[in-house]
Structure 1
Amino acid sequence: MSAGDPQPPEPIPGARLLFSLDPASAHLNHGSYGAVPIGVQRAQQRLRDEMDADPMRFFTQGLVDRIVHVRRHLATFLGADPDGSALVGNATTGAAIVLQSLRLGPGDEVLVTDHGYGAVGFAVQRECRRTGATVRTIEVPLTASDDEIVALVRAALRPGRTKLLMVDQLTSPTARLFPAAAIVATAREHDVPVFVDAAHAPGMLPVAVDALGADFWVGNFHKWAFAPRGTALLVVAPRWRDRIEPLAVSWQQESGFPLRVEWQATLDYTPWLAAPTGLFTLRSLGVDRVRAHNAALAAYGQRVLGEALGLAPADLPDPGAPGVSMRLVPLPDGLVSTVDDAQALRLRIADALGAHVAVSAWRGRSLLRISGQVYNRAEEYVRLAQRLPQLLGALR
């Protein structure tokens, strides 16, 4: 071990006690579903109790104003215009809303990268089938530099035909931070609208959404900002707001964006209303402190797992910036080749080793993704590293 090797950070005192996670498992995959602090769970339960005690009053007296208040709170945290933002269930829902609002047609195309989230890819395919548009994929090597990524995007743009470029701010299958600002600027030069899928950004990364300048931006608060699941913010540039339509029409349709998107009749709004408690928890721990802790822990976990699998430091994918709290560890070639294979291996690791991780099959490569969060400890990664090689060896 050299002096430059990633080392585990000091735990944040008391942070682990804020969560109700089962101690029988090492929860090393915060990036997939997050974890809701106990205080936020209780805040949401109080809201549920209020709703169920008097549903008529809850839904008809002041609920819209409460939603607007939460939206302003979350948008301000992200540096986004509250009047151009809408609360939605998750990033995939935000993508579907934007896609069906574009009014695509034959001859149009949506441009994506091969690092995109699978469910968003399904949404693109469905909208293209429905409208006669096409989808085209930019292949971006895992080791591409920021300049190379921007160059690949620039070369793929077809002004006049490319009606939307969809790019991730931090990719899900490959845990790579893309140069979103440079990509947006490049697309703007060619008058191509950009949708930034920032599912993992709120809470993990310092972002200033309006300064980024994307036409559409969506981020989940239920991953790294400690909100209840089902809380995300869709931000839309001024020139597009009048065109945004909800997936289902309800009683705020005539109010325009964003209320027409947010109000979905008897939806359970308690996750949104409890989301500020999640931000309060994050701020109480110290936003910068949490970010630094999580990124350092993920880097340490990547190192010890890589060493256990016989990988050199150069074999471990660079996340694109030191502040990323998710890291990749390549697994032996041919171990998984399909989504079902990846799911089966993930479940086997969980059952046999007591550790939750993410596994993906990406461009023929088998990739394991880990996260770092304030409830994790260095020994959880070490324990997985000690046992993982034997399990993988038995599968080959």
Structure 2
Amino acid sequence: MDIEDFSLDPAVAHLNHGSFGAAPTAVHDRQDELRREAERDPDVFFATVLDRIAKARDEVAAFLGAAPEGLSFVHNVTEGVAIALNSVPLAPGDEILIGDHVYGAVEIAARRRAERTGAEVVKVTLPGGSDGDWTGADAAAAFLGAVTPRTKVAVFDQITSNTARLLPARDLVEALRARGVVTIVDAAHAPGMLDVDVSEIGADFWTGNLHKWAFAPRSSGVLAVDPAWRERVEPLIPSFYLGDGFPRSLEFQGTRDYTAWLAAPYGIRLLDGLGANAVRSRNAALAARGQEIVAAGTGLRPWRADPELSMRVLRLPEGVAVTHPRAEALSAEIFRRFQVRAGVKPWPGAGLVRLSAQVYNTERDFERLADGLRRILT
């Protein structure tokens, strides 16, 4: 499978798959069929859509190692985290634990929940300084060291977004649960990139995107909920099925477009047909090679990496892309001048370049980025 199997512009080097994903054209064709079906007879489509969503959910649950009755479709991880946070009762003085590598929208959700309940957000600084030079055990120790008697809930990544690092989700869940802390795992990048077993992780709430690495259309995500919490879970927007409880109450919002969810199993089947483990190994190896190419071509310093991930990070020179607007400006310049899409991320002191590798990428894409970055930075 190469770029001709996607709708992506073949004139562009697409190295930012981790931000928005890209589904193969075969998956979009299936989604288009579903949309045409809905338009031919909306009454029949919406009368039967909940049963079809349940069938699709069963297939996704099997792929993720999750209990079907404990899984719900959501539109993305931001929605999943917000639902999870709203499900946990909080009072003034309670603490919500997050890490300093947290995704921005997730931090906003945590702070909003804290403002409404009188709770406090505590941000954990992970070790390693400017090079991200920490291990999973280091990260776990930092989180556990920040727990106090007031800590009620911890929100942490399975794979950090901006910095592309892997956290020991299962170990953290076990250790936090032993301390009486509710766990919410942001697994936005995990489905498809990792061989996930949600039941083994055992979090109170686990939420991941299918449209990043599992070949599903946007917007398709899932929220897995432990049995102890399912009766407390409510949708952000109520519907006629609110009284039906989880997961049905979350999955119907009137006349929304459900075709991404219904097409998600098709993307998973396509990934399995290619050999999911082979795709993961190939992408991880290419990401590592891409990091080497860009480092050699620009002199940028690579961040510590986890070998099983399909993303890698390099640190920009001091003072470059330290704010979101400046990171966006550099990303736009890279595209305008060299037709390369790269994930430029703000970071204190110096921004980061996050590289993604998917089946449509080759080493030549990373060489183009290295050449363009070298010209811009010099």
Q: TM-score, normalised by structure 2?
A: 0.97
**Which residue pairs with 1:335 in the alignment?**
320
Pairwise CA distance, 1:280: 1.4
Alignment of 1:345-356 (within 5 A): 345-356=330-341
Q: Secondary structure, in 3 states, of the residue corresponding to 1:112? A: strand
Runs of 4+ in 1 over 3 A off after TM superposition: none
CA contact (8 A) 1:353 1:388 kept: no
Partner residue in 2 for 1:58 = 45
CA apart distance, 1:15: 3.4
Match of residue 82 from structure 1: 68
Read off the aligned partner of 1:157 and give its amino acid letter. V
Counterpart Cα distance in 2 of 1:147 and 1:103 = 29
Residue identity in the other structure for 2:287: A
Unmatched runs of 5 consecutive residues or more in structure 2: none
Q: Is 2:1 the counterpart of 1:18? A: no
Question: In 2, Cα distance between the equivalents of 1:226 and 1:139?
Answer: 33
Tell me the CA shift for residue 43 of structure 1: 0.4
Give the Å deviation of 1:103: 2.7
Out of 249, 253, 256, the position equivalent to 2:245 is: 256
Distance 1:165 1:93 in 2: 17
Q: How does 1:111-130 map to 2 (within 5 A)?
A: 111-130=97-116
How far is 1:16 from its partner?
Answer: 3.1
Superposed CA offset, 1:316-358 (max 9, x none): 2122x31100000111110122111111111111111111011
**2:342–2:354: 8 Å Cα contact kept in structure 1?**
yes
The 5 Å alignment of 1:98-117 reads 98-117=84-103
The aligned residue for residue 344 of structure 1 is 329
Calculate the TM-score normalised by the size of structure 1. 0.93
1:144 aligns with 2:134: yes
Deviation at 1:181, TM superposition (A): 1.5
In the alignment, the residues of structure 1 paired with residue 249 and residue 372 of structure 2 have an alpha-carbon distance, to the nearest angstrom, of 51
2:357 equivalent in structure 1: 372
Q: Which amino acid aligns with 2:328?
A: Q
Equivalent residues in 2 for 1:159-238, closer than 5 Å = 159=149, 161-238=150-227
Deviation at 1:130, TM superposition (A): 1.5
How far apart are the structure 1 equivalents of 2:271 and 2:213? 9
Contact 2:76 2:221 in 1 (8 A): yes
**Residue 363 of structure 1, CA deviation:** 2.6
How far apart, in 2, do the equivalents of 1:104 and 1:346 lie? Answer: 39
State the number of aligned residues.
374
The Cα RMSD (Å) is: 1.1
> Cα offset for 1:17?
2.7
Q: Alpha-carbon deviations, 1:155-207, whole Å to 9, x = none?
A: 10113x21110010000010001111111121012011111100000000011
Kept after mapping to 2: 8 A contact 1:169/1:179 = yes
Structure 1 CA distance for aligned equivalents of residues 96 and 338 of structure 2: 41
| Contact persistence 1:91–1:232 (CA under 8 A) | yes
Amino acid in the other structure paired with 1:382:
E
Distance 2:253 2:285 in 1: 40
State the percentage of identical aligned residues. Answer: 47
More moved, 284-293 vs 360-369: 360-369
Distance in 2 of aligned mates of 1:266 and 1:104? 33
